[in-house]
Structure 1
């Protein structure tokens, strides 16, 4: 192993091998008891990414356990849907308060299970507090009966109602275990649904903590349940009785879920992979853009669907930007600590380390230049890898087009802005993008040309993600459907139109011929157009 550059801070906490005091055997037992599985079920052992040491033994759910869970959920959902929305709101606001009051417990669990830094974990706490408050205070307006224009003005009274889907399956990933688990369950619950969820096994404790807090906030039993197991074992059971599916994960898995949902004629919402692009325009503030690139590329050790893996920089500022970005990257503190002293944590599982290593070595072998990082750090722990910047990446390299999902970013110069936009769009994915410029109007104009569900100007991803009143989701291979905003709750509902026809409909009154009636209706339709009626 090469010596560590003097400019790279690499000190790991001397207590990183020990779990925080909040993670006690009693806590682990309480959380594991929330799994939809019998007490005598076989268990799976999770490991702490920082050290590789055993973390928790969690019961494994079977297809039969899922069948029983769905039956309980369907019974509970009927009563939950009949619960006044004001009562649901109170539960969600109590949950909001509990999350903030006990956020250090969540931070400890997230770090222990994922290996991310405390800074990155805290963003999930803020995200869930915002989400809970937003839907608690917006759901009644979104779900209220809506008057619609009737077929015949004044004579047709038309109302749109919203009914819950029933039982929603949520399948959440390991990389953002609180945001993706609770964040997708909250609007489903507020809409009157029950939820049966499969969090990723590696980070199930965080999801179970959120479930535990929701019960403490007053959520009735069986309205939100969680199962643990491999998709190959319980995936079919999760689909068999669901009325709707929310999935966050790989594009390959998303395609299968979409096919299965289509076969059952149920809806699905899918947030999938990304190969997100950041554009640094020729008038960008280089210092600010270089700092932004740090935030864009290395949050949660690059294991974030909306983080940047490609950066396109105007040719005239390319060298200066790369130098500034690399200098800042080399100064990042890499290590393990249950406090706010570390900038970058570790990867979450060995397969991610294998992918990151393969992409960097493939690029290195084929002629790319490593401007920062470029190696694993087993001296810090089994899953540490330095934040890595590549230039000279060509289309024959894995890092050019495949999602790395790790702390690796490639930088490309461009001469013409149209070409930069074309390169950014030259991917089947379309999840997130970022534009950096001193001219906000110019940045927004460029953003509108990018094929991505969200685009941030002078920000990496937090501006769009945190704008929870606006929809968030992907185009192309990055998924279907949206979370956040009105879309994020209405997708968990069925629309029903009730039309009450008064006095006269489209059939002719008694004694009037169809020919005369059609002439009268034709004249009426012309009149409505003439007066500007819609």
Structure 2
């Protein structure tokens, strides 16, 4: 690994800082009356960024009250107007992306090129739902029980107010991407972004306002999850959560008690399969991005790699060489390949996983060290061999720049090992035979599988639903499922001329015979 180029203009150790007035304007959007604040520090250099006002459970209740009042008129706003707001947001995000990128990098410590994924993803999401609003949410005619005499329509009615708990690792896109289809469907939102990355989320709320979202439809609260989470679930009509499986279970239980729905994107231990016919250079390049984007702090990033015997040595040589060519650094500019971990807690977790593996016999092919010379929470991209089940990182999510390599001989063995464990979020397959790779993909128990790409092929295709199987979550964001989850489906049936019951003195037995004959006839006519 090499240190990133020194660029004084983009060196956070220089004089760069957020203006207090700028921070104050953003944090005023938080519903908070406690008088308490939490100080937030940049992972790039440990300098303070902001004092974030802290909300109370009573503030959460107030946020829901405001949102609920605003939602009543928003639900009556024509769908085309709601869609137009998303399309205006699309343009605003692209126009203001440099400001967005600065905030993301400063708060999260990630490389700027990885931060770019966030405004890009929000622009894609806003455009997709803005253009497909009628397709997903428009009134539909469906066949009635009596052809021509029974008219049935289905409507999608908004849930009401959606609670969103978003994480720190992708602070702009995760704060907004679930809320955009919720707004399109006629709901209001109460959002609780992670404390470390509030400013990116608050700037997203500001852009929504600039795009024409009416006041009070998007409320923001701030504070510890254990303190505010129960109040958020209690007030919501639907909950979106992105985070750990342990917390997801708690939220699912709380939602079940209230008989409300939730969607949960949770942990992963995502595998890559490199088949014997893979393009070695493409696979090695993709493995670097798949493993070390955002320093591995990505729910869909790769932590296990299964490589065919026939190409193992050649592939590993190229993967290690590409990894060692990466530049690391604390910079607001474009010149580094990987940035920092988010916090001391995350650094400690990554260090513990690698140290445990090495102590129990794993080999470090490259990396394996913290880099305090670059910033307080930097850790080198790390490739391990010889990881075994008794090592913590074998089955537990590391959520850092660490990947373990394993050989396989038969592809059925690779699929079985990819399906080991309790997670099932994302997987990747590298092969030059697309048909064979897609057939293997159907056997992998993951919500998304990418062929010759790590995660972007599915995650960046907004029409494709995204989410986890097994302990990696429930529900889906993106696609039709990503917007319909925020609605209740209502069916309205209108019956004409005849009733669906015996008429004109007809006995129940004769009625049953007539209906039976009609059912047989409709099947012969090919009716659904």
Q: TM-score, normalization: structure 1?
A: 0.97
| Inter-partner Cα distance in structure 2 for 1:315 and 1:34 | 56
Q: How does 1:6-155 map to 2 (within 5 A)?
A: 8-9=2-3, 15-18=11-14, 20=16, 23-38=18-33, 41-155=35-149
Deviation at 1:12, TM superposition (A): 5.6
| Inter-partner Cα distance in structure 1 for 2:159 and 2:323 | 47
Aligned twin of 2:409: 415
CA contact (8 A) 1:150 1:156 kept: yes
Q: Specify the SS of the correspondent of 1:313.
A: strand
Aligned twin of 1:3: none
Aligned twin of 2:245: 251
| Inter-partner Cα distance in structure 2 for 1:145 and 1:64 | 38
CA contact (8 A) 2:195 2:222 kept: yes
| Inter-partner Cα distance in structure 2 for 1:95 and 1:353 | 35
CA contact (8 A) 1:172 1:198 kept: yes
Q: Specify the SS of the correspondent of 1:434.
A: strand
Flag structure 1 segments of 5+ consecutive residues without an equivalent: 1-6
Structure 1 range deviating more: 146-155 or 25-34: 146-155
CA contact (8 A) 1:20 1:108 kept: no
Cα-to-partner distance string for 1:91-125 (whole Å, 9 max, x where unaligned): 22221111111111110110011000100001111
Q: How does 1:397-408 map to 2 (within 5 A)?
A: 397-408=391-402
| Inter-partner Cα distance in structure 1 for 2:27 and 2:379 | 31
| Inter-partner Cα distance in structure 1 for 2:303 and 2:163 | 30
Aligned twin of 2:384: 390
Q: Specify the SS of the correspondent of 2:347.
A: helix
Deviation at 1:445, TM superposition (A): 1.0
| Inter-partner Cα distance in structure 2 for 1:12 and 1:249 | 34
CA contact (8 A) 1:170 1:195 kept: yes
| Inter-partner Cα distance in structure 2 for 1:117 and 1:292 | 17
Aligned twin of 1:333: 327
- Answering whether residue 152 of structure 2 is matched by residue 179 of structure 1, we say no
Deviation at 1:16, TM superposition (A): 2.1
| Inter-partner Cα distance in structure 2 for 1:16 and 1:426 | 42
Aligned twin of 1:200: 194
Q: CA RMSD in A?
A: 1.2
Q: Specify the SS of the correspondent of 2:176.
A: helix
- Answering whether residue 238 of structure 2 is matched by residue 226 of structure 1, we say no
| Inter-partner Cα distance in structure 2 for 1:140 and 1:375 | 52
Q: Which runs of 4+ in 1 moved over 3 A?
A: 7-14, 18-21
Q: Specify the SS of the correspondent of 2:449.
A: strand
Q: TM-score, normalization: structure 2?
A: 0.98
| Inter-partner Cα distance in structure 2 for 1:321 and 1:123 | 27
| Inter-partner Cα distance in structure 2 for 1:462 and 1:397 | 30
| Inter-partner Cα distance in structure 2 for 1:434 and 1:19 | 42
Deviation at 1:251, TM superposition (A): 0.3
| Inter-partner Cα distance in structure 2 for 1:338 and 1:169 | 32
Residues 1:13 and 1:49: Cα distance change in structure 2 (over 3 Å): farther
Cα-to-partner distance string for 1:163-221 (whole Å, 9 max, x where unaligned): 10000000000000111111111000111100000000101100000001111121111
- Answering whether residue 432 of structure 2 is matched by residue 438 of structure 1, we say yes
| Inter-partner Cα distance in structure 2 for 1:467 and 1:230 | 33
Deviation at 1:491, TM superposition (A): 0.3
| Inter-partner Cα distance in structure 1 for 2:435 and 2:520 | 43
CA contact (8 A) 2:274 2:430 kept: yes
Aligned twin of 1:280: 274
Aligned twin of 2:210: 216
Aligned twin of 1:312: 306
The count of corresponding residues between Structure 1 and Structure 2 is: 526
| Inter-partner Cα distance in structure 1 for 2:501 and 2:30 | 59
2:525 to 510, 524, 531: 531
Deviation at 1:149, TM superposition (A): 1.4
Structure 1 range deviating more: 274-283 or 40-49: 40-49
CA contact (8 A) 1:13 1:335 kept: no
Q: Specify the SS of the correspondent of 2:357.
A: helix
1:521 to 515, 522, 526: 515
Structure 1 range deviating more: 140-149 or 254-263: 140-149
| Inter-partner Cα distance in structure 1 for 2:128 and 2:14 | 37
Q: Specify the SS of the correspondent of 1:486.
A: helix
| Inter-partner Cα distance in structure 1 for 2:357 and 2:7 | 32
| Inter-partner Cα distance in structure 1 for 2:415 and 2:221 | 43
| Inter-partner Cα distance in structure 2 for 1:222 and 1:253 | 28
